[in-house]
Amino acid sequence: MGIPAAKIYAASDQPLEKQEKIFGEVVAGITKILWVMSEKFIESLKFRKFLNNVSQTRSVQFVINEPAWTKLEQIKNEFSLLPILLLTATCSYEGASKLAIILKRPNLKLVFETQSKPSKKKDIVEIVHKNIEQNHEVATNAFGMGVHMSDVRIIIHITFPLSSTNFVQEVGRASRDRQQAKSIVLYSCSDIRKLLLIVGGKIESTNEIQPVQYNYLEKMKKYIFAMAYTFEDSYQYHRKMVYEPFRWPKDSEIPKCSICDNCKRCIDDKIIWCNISEDLLQILDTVDKLVNFTNDLTTPLVNFGHNNIVDIFTKAKNKNAKEQNLTSLWENDSDKAKSNIIRTRNICLHAIDRLCIEKLLVQNVVIKPIQPGSSTIVYRSNISGIAPDTRQKILENS
């Protein structure tokens, strides 16, 4: 573009005399754009003083990359009169609201597809090779940091991304030349546990989880379960599921793409959309029964989870239901099933997942070291009750 620019690296990667030369050109007005790592600004008081001095004689503006957004308050405090521009393709309305507090201010042609993930590594490799017809690259989910190609045609995720933001940024490396590309996610519900353990492994092994760590875990649990639900859904079009979190209140509805696997499945299966509010209310009744059941000291069940709810909802007579005496919870019910739509175990589990993700059911997920100081992380999940106004919300949306 012909605009004089320079980069400042860590002192260990760039000679000090080179940095001094760059600083001199900035002061003289020769260099117009200065690229620096956010750590350089945050950690170097000397560098911030230099920018402050420059701002006394000429305009200084900040363009902030996403990782440094949490430090915006520091920039705004030290450079209160200077304009700040934030650039992102994945800022939700909730995220923008948080940024406003920090700052103290009241279309890709991409085909999405989800495939069942095999349990054996050799089968995963076979799927990858089946979908790749040309040169390919194996990388972590941060592969875009060094890839500057416009013709990436396919991105295969060996497991589902941690959040919608991660997913959008990862698939955003494809189709930059506006030609059609494909994103394939190899999904398995067992990956939920794996990702939760990875997240838990980032927490320091101590007896007590600190408030900051707890908030981080809660946020990541929400993201992981929401993404899992996204890839379990066989009929909701992917474009809506992926981009809905970034739609602001006054934005128009996200249109169907008609080319993802879910859109095609809707046509092939000739699906009929049904109102399942009565079924959901019956699931809530089941949760109430289980809460009372576990509070009874004479019963063998201390806490309960998804499978216990399904056992009662479907009136299962399996070994677990009999051993836990769950059959007693429906013995006085009518033999005629109340549910007209949710009839299988998998669909019932899917509905419970959705209620948890929407925070209509209270789900407790515990991630902690198996013992103090251990690097081995354990994961447990149970349901403890129904959130306030849940029944009213279901009826309003029916």
The DSSP secondary structure of 6-52, one letter per residue, reads EEE--TTTS-HHHHHHHHHHHHTT---EEEE-HHHHHH-HHHHHHHH
User: With 50 as the cut, is the pLDDT of residue 108 above it?
Assistant: no
Structural tokens at position 88:
């992102």
pLDDT at 333: 65
> What is the spatial distance between Cα 387 and Cα 170, in angstroms, rounded to a whole number?
34
Q: How far is CA 254 from the centre of its chain?
A: 19
pLDDT class for 107, splitting at 50, 70, 90? Answer: very low
Fold of 277-396: Arc Repressor Mutant, subunit A (1.10.10)
Domain edges within the chain: 5-102, 277-396
User: With 60 as the cut, is the pLDDT of residue 335 above it?
Assistant: no
User: What is the pLDDT of the chain when averaged over all its residues?
Assistant: 79
Q: Is 251 exposed, middle or buried (0-12, 13-18, 19+ CB in 10 A)?
A: exposed
pLDDT in tens, 144-186: 555 677 788 888 888 888 888 888 878 877 877 878 888 888 8
Q: What proportion of the chain, given as a percentage, has pLDDT over 70?
A: 77
Find out whether 313 and 283 touch, Cβ atoms under 8 Å.
yes
> What is the spatial distance between Cα 167 and Cα 184, in angstroms, rounded to a whole number?
11
pLDDT in tens, 338-389: 556 888 888 898 889 889 878 899 988 777 667 766 666 676 789 999 999 9
> What is the spatial distance between Cα 370 and Cα 380, in angstroms, rounded to a whole number?
11
pLDDT class for 208, splitting at 50, 70, 90? Answer: low
User: With 60 as the cut, is the pLDDT of residue 206 above it?
Assistant: no
Task: Report CA-CA distances (Å) from 333 to 102, 293, 303, 329.
Answer: 55, 16, 23, 8
Mean pLDDT of 229-239: 81
Between 120-124, 180-184, 317-321, the lowest mean confidence (pLDDT) is in 120-124
> What is the spatial distance between Cα 121 and Cα 115, in angstroms, rounded to a whole number?
15
Mean pLDDT of 118-146: 66
DSSP-based three-state secondary structure for 395: helix
For the question of whether the overall pTM of this predicted structure is more than 0.95, the answer is no
CATH annotation of 5-102: 3.40.50.300
Find out whether 283 and 276 touch, Cβ atoms under 8 Å.
no
- Please tell me which residue, 361 or 219, carries the higher pLDDT value: 361
* Tokens 């920039």 found at: 75
pLDDT class for 1, splitting at 50, 70, 90? Answer: low
Strands 361-369 and 377-386: antiparallel
CB atoms within 10 A of CB 133: 9
Find the angle CA(211)-CA(216)-CA(220) to the nearest 5 degrees.
Answer: 150
Find out whether 243 and 260 touch, Cβ atoms under 8 Å.
no
Find out whether 396 and 277 touch, Cβ atoms under 8 Å.
no
